[in-house]
Amino acid sequence: MYQNIEKTTSFLNFWKINRPQFSLYAKEAKEVSLEFYKTVQDNIPYQIIRLNSQKHKLGDYWYYEDKAIQEGCLYRWNVDGVSILDPLALSYTGNMPVKEKKSIFLLHKQATSKKFSIKDKDRLIYEVHIGFFSKEQTYTTFIDKIPYLKELGINTVEFLPIYEWDDYTGNLHPDSTPIQNAWGYNPINFFATTKKFSSSKEENSFSEVEEFRNLVEILHKNGIEVLLDVVYNHTAEGGKTGYLHHFKALGEDTFYIKNKDKDFSNFSGCGNSFHCNHTVTKEMIIESLLYWYLEMGVDGFRFDLAPVLGRDSHGQWLQRSLLYDLVEHPILSHATLISESWDLGGYFVGAMPSGWSEWNDSYRDTIRKFIRGDFGQIPDLIKRIFGSIDIFHANKKKYQATINFIACHDGFTMWDVLSYNRKYNFANGEKNQDGNNENYSYNHGEEGETKNPAILKLRIQQMKNMMLLLYISQGIPMLLMGDEIARTQLGNNNAYCQNNKITWMDWSRKDSFQDIFQFTKSMIQLRKTYSIFRKEEYLKMDEEIILHGVKLHQPDYSFHSLSIAFELWDQESDTQFYIALNSYSESLDFELPILKNKKEWYLLTDTSKVETCDFKAEEKITETNYSVISKSSIILVAK
């Protein structure tokens, strides 16, 4: 009866065997069949194999093996009369209605790409949507952009979701036109690579798997590691009225969190919440991660709405959950694990198990408020620049527990933070009611895009201020795609449904904003060169860091303070830096520290001066004070 089954603890291990074998969890099912199709257009299977519970069932798992089955065959499962997709398929047929979609059978292969050994402290993340990096971008054409990424200096790409997802979420425009999900946070399953970025347009092709595996390998050869933004918190099946792909037919109470009224809980905001801590689903998620890590070669993961992975069947927070299992897993604990530590049910930043890195929205908000000129930010600004220890003090990763970002896919771009006082999401069809209302943004004198040279100059200056803060801060910095060339979404802060010029990378802006690009490159190189900006152990106060105000040793923490300065000493290279930040409406004269050993201060960069974007440090500072103009920052280096 079980002669063809190797040792296994779950049905998931069946398909790890490199031979034509199918398996399915269907605990309550009475009748299970496999339906095989000749073409993608066929609605009637040419062959139906009805499984026998005595011969093809082990516990709650149904399985079938046939050596005659070839890679690329099209099939669906049928469970008690309901035809469904295989939730474990590595590929699906192309862009067609759910009821017509087919699973494509593929064998498993080990990745040839070797894992990276980039230390957390050295990681420089670039969050990018493969399809938006240019119009009609594919896995293969993304390779053409690798020289650009290397020129910029980043060493890690974090791809927005590439699991096959459903284009439509069930949300409607007022005219009942379905809203397209363009970001990809609407997964059909957790294994299939989406065809949306495939070079092949054939609906039954499965070349997307090799295309993505090849992309990972080439990125690795160019010194760039790969992180995936993964979505386990919900599926595209939605709530009661949502689509049925597979999980609903296999057991709603197994795969979804239900509330006291037996309805779908909605901690995701997408109609359902995946029950990540059921034995079956937990194994499925771990096997999914192992598939991407071991077979596709990726180096780590960012978990969307990660707290859902910490909830039980009733939605309550578990003290021991999948979140703990992952940081203690003998293989996956070696992958990079990053959480978005909030969902619709709670805020858990700093409460993830030790060993996770976490998106730090407090960093984002504090930097934006300081740049805008809000009062009362200096005490928090110091905490955010120096690793947010107040939030992550219990995490063994220390500074590397915080993922520092000022903009991400969800919200304004950096340029829009400086160009809009309010959001403009009308194109999303929800009467501008979607998206966050508070963005801590300021348009600097004119709403939206402008040709006013004074406003443009100030916005560019502020962009450089934000880049400077991002790359001098302790922790792991993350840059949103295109911020280095002032990408705009025209004020849309929830562009999940925009696959057009609103979200596409406009490469012409690289020439228009060359000074921002050059400044960003220089800041990244500075961070790479000096370890003082990427420490593993906590900085030693009054030895590696000395805080100042406009007067030496007198930092101003008062409510109305809008400036701070500090010295940093890089012990490895015996190099001193002086950094001053002025968000006040007027220039401020900062008293400079007196140097020893015949060293003198040189201007590394001044964000108000275009000519210092390349950090040549040729201008000697002969005065004892430096006038930092309004809304600008400086870095001096001793030599």
**Catalytically annotated residues:** 304, 340
Print the SS3 string covering 138-156: CHHHHHHHHHHHHHHCCCE
Q: For residues 326 and 321, what is the distance between their CA atoms, to the nearest angstrom?
A: 9
Q: Which two tokens stand for residue 85?
A: 């997709």
CA max distance for the chain = 89
Other Cβ atoms within 10 Å of 247 Cβ, number: 25
Q: Which residues have a Cβ under 8 Å from the Cβ of 610 and sit 6 or more positions away?
A: 515
Q: For residues 25 and 23, what is the distance between their CA atoms, to the nearest angstrom?
A: 7
Q: Which two tokens stand for residue 569?
A: 């000493």
DSSP strand pairing (342-343 vs 632-638): unpaired
Q: Which residues have a Cβ under 8 Å from the Cβ of 382 and sit 6 or more positions away?
A: 547, 555, 564
Phi, psi (5° rounding) for residue 128?
-145, 140
Q: What is the DSSP letter of 466?
A: H
Classified as helix, coil or strand, 622 is coil
For residues 283 and 239, is the Cβ–Cβ distance under 8 A?
Answer: no
Place of tokens 């007198």: 554
Q: What is the DSSP letter of 317?
A: B
Q: For residues 108 and 127, what is the distance between their CA atoms, to the nearest angstrom?
A: 28
